[in-house]
Amino acid sequence: MSLVLRKTGTGRRLSTELEESIRSAIQRGELKPGQKLGSAKQLAKHWNASYGAVRQSLETLAMKGLVERRPRAGTFVSSTPQAGGVNGDARNIIWLLVPDIRMPEYSLVTRHLQDAGHKSHFEILVSSTDDERERYDQSVIRQLKAGVGGLVLVSPQQGRISLETLLEIKKAGIPVVNYARPVNVVPWPTVQTDTFQVVYLPIQHLCSLGRKRIAFLTYPTPAVHTPQMHYGLYRAIAEAGLTGSNVIECTLPDTFYLKRDPDTQALAAMIGELLDKNPDIDAMCCQHDHIAAIVLNVLRARGIPVPEQIAVTGAGGTSELFGFAPGELTTVNTRIDLAAEEMVRLLQAGPAVSEEQQVVIAIQPQLVIGRSTDVQAASLASPAQSISAGP
């Protein structure tokens, strides 16, 4: 090992100097990933330092993910050192800001980001802003002052982050990743689900089942996603030899979902009215599992068999959070777990990546077929297993 340190202090000061020297050597490439440093006793002798100071510095570096301490083997440079991205000075803290942690998709983002961060020795903290821009801006400024090492931003459902706040983030020079919705005025990378596939996959599935009168129900979507969603919808329809007349588009007010106490009865009434006006509907493609839950309740109350008369699909991978048993709902798993891994990878890469260009990573979703479209599986289900989802 070519790294040589001289004993220039004692106690905490020496420990800090040793820690900084090792970290700098890793950043410069003098210490390679996987390279063995040795035991604390060996390093203390090699560096002419006290055993306690060396051990303290190694424990600190291990907590920051820069080195790995292996019992009876020694200390090794981490195979995925974090020095280039979320740095040790910020204690490897990633701050996640979401509009409302009570919304199921954001609780899943938090869980999966914590899982991905744990593997890379990052601590994930979360702030819920109640979708209030002023509170969102205040939370960002507080975290910047606290010295976090990276930010994952989920923009407000309604409105935007203020330009002043965006400039403060950019000035801080820390890595930033957007989730789901890009911030176009700053070239930070964005990780989102492939919205084309989220629509294309369930519509293609319904068409393959011979469904010819499909209701497409969704909440308002960000303008950046709308073209891709429509492309997925009508491409699947065209491939099945159908036309736009085979589709009934219905955009539901998102207040039914964003409100603290959503009026599910009013939403059910709207769905019932849709069915009354279009008695020939034989499939309902819901772009949210929450909508699918209400739809299935309405169909059940009307005695309409699912999927024999009307097949139903959801989206979001959150079906279990809305009362569905495993295998009940055909839904689109948006693979939030993969999105979380990509966000951590981008944060590891550091802020330089986000300065080069607007990077958008589209996560490929997965269609999960359940009894709400599978006639054979539904007919085999016992009464206790029959579709009876609710929010």
């990378």: which residue's tokens?
A: 189
C-alpha distances out from residue 68 to 60, 72, 107, Å: 11, 12, 31
Report whether pLDDT(281) > 50: yes
Answer whether residue 191 shows pLDDT above 50.
Answer: yes
pLDDT bin (cut points 50, 70, 90) of residue 88 is: very low
Give the per-residue pLDDT at 138: 87
pLDDT exceeds cutoff 70 at 388: no
* Residues 329-355: tens digit of each pLDDT: 999 999 999 999 999 999 887 765 444
Residue 315 token pair: 């989206």
Q: Say yes or no to pLDDT of 274 above 90.
A: yes
Strands 74-77 and 36-38: antiparallel
pLDDT of 61 strictly over 80: no
Question: Which tokens go with 264?
Answer: 């599910």
Taken in order of first residue, the domains within the chain and their CATH numbers are: 11-77 (1.10.10.10), 88-192+338-363 (3.40.50.2300), 195-335+367-385 (3.40.50.2300)
Give the C-alpha separation, 375 to 354, whole Å. Answer: 48
Q: What is the pLDDT of residue 371?
A: 95
* Single-letter amino acid code for the residue at 104: P
> What pLDDT shows up at residue 79?
66
How confident is the model over 247-252, as a mean pLDDT?
A: 96
